Structure 1
Amino acid sequence: MASTASFIAQFNHRNIKILQHLGYEVHVAANFTHFGTSSSKSNQQFMQWLRVQHVVIHNVPIERRLGKFRQNISTLIILNHLMMKENYCFLHVHTPIASVLGRIVALKNHVPVIYTAHGFHFSKNSSKVNWFIFPIEWLLSFITDKLVLINQEDFLLARHYFHAKQIDYVPGVGVNFKLLSERQVDEHLLAKRELLKTLKLPKNSYLIIAVGELSKRKNHQVVVKALSILAMSNYHLVIAGRGKQRQSLLRLATQLGVANQIHFLDYRRDIRHFHLAADLAVLPSLREGLSRAGLEAVRDGVYLLGADIRGIRDYILNDEVGQVFNPRNANELAILIKKNIQRQKKGLSYSTESRLMKFDRTSVDKQMKEIYQSMGE
């Protein structure tokens, strides 16, 4: 039986099932000790799921960010030992640091590699500093068998500049877009009534949902500033996520006089319920690969105001779905919030729904199965 390893952070459970159905023994190598912004409970549940699925787990201290030189060397040694011992058929890497270390070790051990880039750090909207990473990705593309891009901007850039043996576009990890046609207006009213009661807010309140970790990259502060500009005390921002920026967001909200309009939900798994309750969704990120949070908002029927960046533009197809704004311009966002917060809930046209179905997990899984099959061949 063949085997494959995946060095992960943003991981798709369904990829494991696809590989197993193709006859592979699957190994997962990841940092299960320091697991980022997910909760400890979610991390434990994921590890338990892997054990139930008979996946071999390797706890490897891979850093999410650049990390220390000595730590990365130590990780390289661990990965090299692992690859020599297990005789892998191919390797699938995901996160930036894991992709660098994994490809280096795979080259040494003559193991083919798939790299799914969940959004390059460099893009049309990123700072010049981020483009210092470009030469590293360019160089490593020569030792990449399959490069998978999840948004159109990265895909076009990779096709023009990079040298992987094959370059594919797969629109993210996929979401269940079949739920798109299952929502009803009365679901929104019921969910909103429940959330208003939970938050102890008056019935005339309007709810804006923002999903994402509390970090500078997710840029929640621009929504706080927009609320301050609007000066509408019955507009409330509900943020689902955890991270280091919580206290600074609270300080900013207090300074701007809108602290009682900001509500933190921490990390949540029942996001659909909050989308159904929301009058509007905002995705103000400064950088994204292909934001699943935005796709799920669209799927759940909430109108989306998204940053005008790659990975969000891909699915805000028209005014039926939402509108884009400059993520550094709070005034522009404030205008869009006021214009759309009372928008009537209604379904999307058939043509728009059809175009969104490429993000459905069934379509994505079919593409990934073909990629894995070609690696086996």
Structure 2
Amino acid sequence: MKILYVANIHRHFNAFHVPYIKWLRENGHEVHVAANGEEVVEGVNRQFDINIQRSPYRFENINAYKQLKEIIEREKYDIVHCHTPMGGILGRLASKNSRKKETKVIYTCHGFHFCKGGPIKNWILYYPVEKFMAKYTDIIITINNEDYQVVNKFNIKKKYYIPGIGLDISKFKDNDQEYDFRNKRAEIGVKGNETLIISVGDLTKRKNHQIVIQALANLRELKFKYVICGKGVEEANLKSLAKKMNIEDKVVFLGHRTDIKEILRVSDIFVFPSLWEGLGIAGIEAMAAGIPVIASDRHGIKDYAIHDKTALLCDPRNSKDFYESINTILTDKYLRNRLVMNASELINKFDISNAMGQMIKIYEEEI
């Protein structure tokens, strides 16, 4: 079989799909990828660089559609597997408008841009598009239960739910590796007697870091550091807010990090305030690392963050919720330990072995 993967950027494939591509290759299938970006994708037969833009309003996407259609018609793929919003739209349109009508089109939704409790404008803008695009899709795969319930309302023949796209949980649970607890904290600007509160995610409005800064302003007398790993357009606004709240000396912006696992191991609390997430791998990583999680009660996060069982859930628009949850974690050792223990057991369903096993079953059935 000849298979094309389509996404917005090539980095997406290396981040999430290398194990699946490897399995396909080992089982005699030819795998091509098409996306934007200069990153070389590991293990594929062929890579196409297509100027797909994340914004649907960019003129370049018209040319990207034409390029994809030409490639699909020329290469005569048996399966086109689409990922990410614009990769999903352009890949599906190009596939169904190509001359080879028997090409099977799969779309893995990594999280709809609309969700329960989310902005109304997102429902108005994105829900009709996803519903319309279902007719250009043979199979839809979702990675959280809420999106799967939405897909049930679409006119689609086959739909599947897979618990995430796979995380090697053992890498975060492995505590055998030696590391210097004190030096690691000092490296990121945390003193020995300070509580280390951490968030991981791009500095964007969707990630909602400002709500945590507002919450922590009520705990300014506490000896803590709030460390944010990520970069993005909201950095200046977040720094300004921290200064306004008189806690600029307690908020540390670490930018992009490649040592998240090590930082999580020396942290005391993980806070995940996103407005919506397809799943939110960062929250699962924190649970695997063995630290208590405080998270938004939104979208895919709720698949593993169960209030008062594996995490404390908050309204992402309410800083008081986060303040009270942080204070509770700090003062209730029994609750903290219970959350960590329960989470450690529940997240096993999101391990790469489980997600990949289910994806392989889908491939075997469809191939």
Question: TM-score scaled by structure 2?
Answer: 0.90
Equivalent in the alignment of 1:39: none
Deviation at 1:80, TM superposition (A): 0.9
Alignment of structure 1 residues 213-232 onto 2, 5 Å:
213-232=202-221
Equivalent in the alignment of 1:2: 2
After alignment, is 56-65 or 216-225 more displaced? 56-65
Structure 2 CA distance, aligned partners of 1:333 and 1:100? 36
Q: 1:265 to 1:350 in 2, by over 3 A?
A: closer
Equivalent in the alignment of 2:109: 117
Letter of the aligned partner of 1:62 in structure 2? I
Equivalent in the alignment of 1:36: none
Q: 1:6 to 1:192 in 2, by over 3 A?
A: same
Letter of the aligned partner of 2:294 in structure 1? L
Q: 2:322 aligns with which of 318, 327, 333?
A: 333
Runs of at least 4 residues off by over 6 Å: 347-351
Q: 1:227 to 1:283 in 2, by over 3 A?
A: same
- SS of the equivalent of 2:308 reads coil
Structure 2 CA distance, aligned partners of 1:115 and 1:335? 40
Alignment of structure 1 residues 40-189 onto 2, 5 Å:
44=39, 47=40, 50=42, 53-68=43-58, 70-109=59-98, 110=101, 111-132=103-124, 133-159=126-152, 161-179=153-171, 182-183=174-175
Equivalent in the alignment of 2:293: 304
Letter of the aligned partner of 1:367 in structure 2? Q
* 2:347 aligned with 1:356: yes
Equivalent in the alignment of 2:21: 16
Equivalent in the alignment of 2:37: 32
After alignment, is 222-231 or 333-342 more displaced? 333-342
Deviation at 1:353, TM superposition (A): 4.6
- Asked if the contact 2:292–2:340 (Cα under 8 Å) also holds between the matched residues in 1, the reply is no
Q: 1:288 to 1:54 in 2, by over 3 A?
A: closer
Structure 1 CA distance, aligned partners of 2:360 and 2:258? 27
* 2:247 aligned with 1:258: yes
Structure 1 CA distance, aligned partners of 2:123 and 2:308? 32
- Asked if the contact 1:218–1:286 (Cα under 8 Å) also holds between the matched residues in 2, the reply is yes
Letter of the aligned partner of 1:59 in structure 2? D
Structure 2 CA distance, aligned partners of 1:332 and 1:18? 44
- Asked if the contact 1:279–1:342 (Cα under 8 Å) also holds between the matched residues in 2, the reply is no
Letter of the aligned partner of 1:119 in structure 2? G
Letter of the aligned partner of 1:7 in structure 2? A
Deviations 1:164-214 (CA, angstroms, capped at 9, x unpaired): 221100111111233565438x97xx6541233213443210101100000
How many residues align? The count is: 356
Deviations 1:342-363 (CA, angstroms, capped at 9, x unpaired): 6657587987655422111100
Structure 1 CA distance, aligned partners of 2:174 and 2:264? 14
Deviation at 1:150, TM superposition (A): 0.8
Deviation at 1:136, TM superposition (A): 1.6
Structure 2 CA distance, aligned partners of 1:322 and 1:180? 18
Structure 2 CA distance, aligned partners of 1:332 and 1:26? 47
Identity %: 32
- Asked if the contact 1:227–1:235 (Cα under 8 Å) also holds between the matched residues in 2, the reply is no
Deviation at 1:312, TM superposition (A): 0.9
Structure possessing the higher relative contact order (Cα contacts under 8 Å, 6 or more residues apart): 1
- SS of the equivalent of 1:332 reads helix
- Asked if the contact 1:225–1:256 (Cα under 8 Å) also holds between the matched residues in 2, the reply is yes
Q: 1:353 to 1:206 in 2, by over 3 A?
A: closer
Q: 1:90 to 1:324 in 2, by over 3 A?
A: same
Deviation at 1:319, TM superposition (A): 3.1
Structure 2 CA distance, aligned partners of 1:265 and 1:343? 29
Alignment of structure 1 residues 241-320 onto 2, 5 Å:
241-317=230-306, 319-320=308-309
Structure 2 CA distance, aligned partners of 1:286 and 1:223? 12
Structure 1 CA distance, aligned partners of 2:32 and 2:237? 40
Structure 2 CA distance, aligned partners of 1:328 and 1:255? 19
- Asked if the contact 2:6–2:88 (Cα under 8 Å) also holds between the matched residues in 1, the reply is no
- SS of the equivalent of 2:274 reads coil
Deviation at 1:135, TM superposition (A): 1.6
- Listed as ranges, the gaps of 5+ residues in structure 1 are 34-43
Letter of the aligned partner of 1:136 in structure 2? V
Structure 2 CA distance, aligned partners of 1:322 and 1:54? 39
- SS of the equivalent of 2:356 reads helix
- SS of the equivalent of 2:300 reads coil
Equivalent in the alignment of 2:201: 212
